[in-house]
Structure 1
Amino acid sequence: MKKLAIPLSLFLIFSMPLVSVSQDLMDVFGKEEPITDYTYATFKTTRVVSGHSVENPANGVLLFMISHNFGKINSGGYELFGLDNSTIRIGLEYGLTNFLSVGVGRSSYEKTYDGFLKAKVLRQSKGARNMPITLTLFTSMDLNSMKWQYPERKNYFSSRLSFVNQVLIARKFSNSFSLQITPTFIHRNLVATASEDNDTYAAGIGGRYKITQRVSFNAEYFYILPGSVADNSENPLSVGFDIETGGHVFQLHFSNAQPMFDRGLITKTTGKWQNGDIYFGFNISRVFTIRKPAAPEPR
């Protein structure tokens, strides 16, 4: 009996540390690391309607966009209610990373070339990291390439340039509803009249409400501080629908603004909704994967 008790005692003595170590390992591996759950698709494309949204093309993705606005609906049957008169913008956007993109475009309105940078610096998330909003910084420059209209004045190249800076702040409140505000500063090197200011301040608000899995209602409005644009300028108001079909997103909209680039949208809107000065238009966007990232990046 004594011979049996001695090995049993030794087993109990040496097994105690093993039980303790095993329990410690279970404590370590049993704890799940907290994860960050990021918000996706605050908006379905890089535009709310005509103005920019917080969205960027993903890393290595090229976005091709055609924007088209017809003439005023109240122009009558002779102009086929605006279909005979139109402006168009063709643009490309490319994701350098998941958080930084570049874009270029050319609009028939004032024969304007534009280029921009977008940088997403905050992203809405919950879990390990709680962030209530997505914040994107936007800056653009555009060039008016129309023939010089003032022969008595020297044609400075710098006079053709304008600059737009925006802070895009958005929150996705639910799977159906997203809202964005857009503080905006615009500088135009040359303005048409003495009553206009070279610097323009505006505040935009836009939203998206999801109707079905592939259709949403979108709207946006920009309030412009008085005295900084021409007397006949109006605050741009646009409403429309996003329709998603595979790799394409169709945006159908109505607006009192005809220009589709940033400076023109905010400072060159002259239509009045109450007078029927409404332009029907659409955006078509298609994405192409040009370069696959070597390793997955957090989105």
Structure 2
Amino acid sequence: MKRLFVIGMILTSSAAFAQNDLLKELDQVQDSVVNYSAATFKGTRIINGHSVETVGKNNLDFIISHRFGAVNSGAQNFFGLDESQIRLALEYGLTDRLMIGVGRSSYQKTLDFFAKYRLLKQSTGARNMPVSVTLFASDAHNSTTSSTELPFYTIMQRQTYTFQALIARKFNDKLSLQLSPTVIHRNLAENQIDANTIYSLGMGGRYKLTKRTSFNVEYWYTPKTFAGTTQRDPRFTNTLSLGFDIETGGHVFQLHLTNSRGMIEKQFIGQTTGKWNNGDIFYGFNISRTFSFDKNRKRKSNAY
């Protein structure tokens, strides 16, 4: 009887030790897991400005953007819908962190090239990173005809460069916020009042309404003076935009109202003249479609 008791105690102790070792190993595995935040924003744009999101590796996004005329243009102009500016863009993911893009805008006949790099990803677990950070750089080329009001003497004078650090945090399944410190350098300013280099701060957010819809807001603050130097013509204003995103699988529809007709940084940050209180409100939309060129890999998901 004593032998059975001793054997039972030994087996029980061994099982307890084994269980403790197993729990310890599971804790170590959990401690080594990194959980990355997904879908901080639905697409690569909040409304006008870029978000921290990048296109997945070997994926191609085709984006069509429209801006109609001002709502205050009246019934004769169908409240702006008779007018239209368009931008077509292609964005390709070289890796899951690095993407490149090219776009052509009918507004000022501008051709733009850009690159985005996902420097940091918001995460918890073994690596706790409170925010996502993406770096952005672009070159915009104004191809309008040179005039007495805006003469271009060289190709370099037509270039405008933009540099941004996009910093975002997804607070929960519904709310995401982003700050976008921005520097824009124009080789040739619009007029003598404008500085060649201007500084701006973008603020944007997304609030998820349903599984496939969200409300977005975006504001770009550009002080008239910076470090004692006038940055831009007083007639230019800050841009405020309100948007509504609808995700339908392979497509993302972004509907919005904004006081800017421009669809790239040099335009909606440095050249906005519309004012909401005057009814200078432009209805617009972005439509994006993703194509995958890697059959052995699932398309990167920004699912809600």
Assess same fold via TM > 0.5. yes
Cα 1:32–1:224, aligned 2, differ >3 Å: closer, same or farther?
A: same
1:149: how far off? 0.9
- From 180, 203, 215, give the equivalent of 1:205: 203
1:154: how far off? 6.3
Which residue in the other structure is 1:162 paired with?
160
Aligned counterparts of 1:295 and 1:288: Cα–Cα separation in 2? 11
1:121: how far off? 0.5
- From 68, 71, 87, give the equivalent of 1:70: 68
1:218: how far off? 0.1
Identity of aligned residues (%): 48
Contact persistence 1:60–1:292 (CA under 8 A) = no
| 1:230 aligned onto 2:228 | no
C-alpha distance after superposition, 1:240-270 (max 9, x if no partner): 1001111111000000000001111101110
1:29: how far off? 4.9
Which residue in the other structure is 2:111 paired with?
113
C-alpha distance after superposition, 1:73-96 (max 9, x if no partner): 100011111011111100010111
1:231: how far off? 2.0
Which residue in the other structure is 1:246 paired with?
249
Greater Cα offset, 103-112 or 228-237 = 228-237
Contact persistence 1:60–1:293 (CA under 8 A) = no
Aligned counterparts of 1:152 and 1:129: Cα–Cα separation in 2? 52
Q: 1:267 aligns to what SS in structure 2?
A: coil
1:291: how far off? 2.6
C-alpha distance after superposition, 1:47-104 (max 9, x if no partner): 0011000000111110010000000010001111101111110001011101000000
Cα 1:142–1:296, aligned 2, differ >3 Å: closer, same or farther?
A: closer
* Alignment coverage as a number of residue pairs: 283
- Look up the equivalent residue of 1:135 and give its one-letter code: V
Aligned counterparts of 1:283 and 1:88: Cα–Cα separation in 2? 10
Alignment of 1:120-199 (within 5 A): 120-150=118-148, 155-199=153-197
Greater Cα offset, 148-157 or 276-285 = 148-157
1:117: how far off? 0.5
Please list every run of 5 or more consecutive structure 1 residues that lacks an aligned counterpart in the other structure.
1-7
Which residue in the other structure is 1:91 paired with?
89
Cα 1:296–1:25, aligned 2, differ >3 Å: closer, same or farther?
A: farther
Which residue in the other structure is 2:263 paired with?
260
C-alpha distance after superposition, 1:114-140 (max 9, x if no partner): 010100111000011100000000000
What is the alpha-carbon root mean square deviation over aligned residues?
Answer: 2.5
TM (norm. structure 2) is 0.87
Aligned counterparts of 2:149 and 2:203: Cα–Cα separation in 1? 40
Q: Please say which structure displays the higher CA radius of gyration.
A: 1
Aligned counterparts of 1:173 and 1:154: Cα–Cα separation in 2? 47
- Look up the equivalent residue of 2:71 and give its one-letter code: I
Q: 1:179 aligns to what SS in structure 2?
A: strand
Aligned counterparts of 1:79 and 1:60: Cα–Cα separation in 2? 43
- From 272, 276, 287, give the equivalent of 2:275: 272
Please list every run of 5 or more consecutive structure 2 residues that lacks an aligned counterpart in the other structure.
225-229
TM (norm. structure 1) is 0.88
C-alpha distance after superposition, 1:25-47 (max 9, x if no partner): 75875554120110000000000
Contact persistence 1:67–1:90 (CA under 8 A) = yes
Cα 1:127–1:83, aligned 2, differ >3 Å: closer, same or farther?
A: same
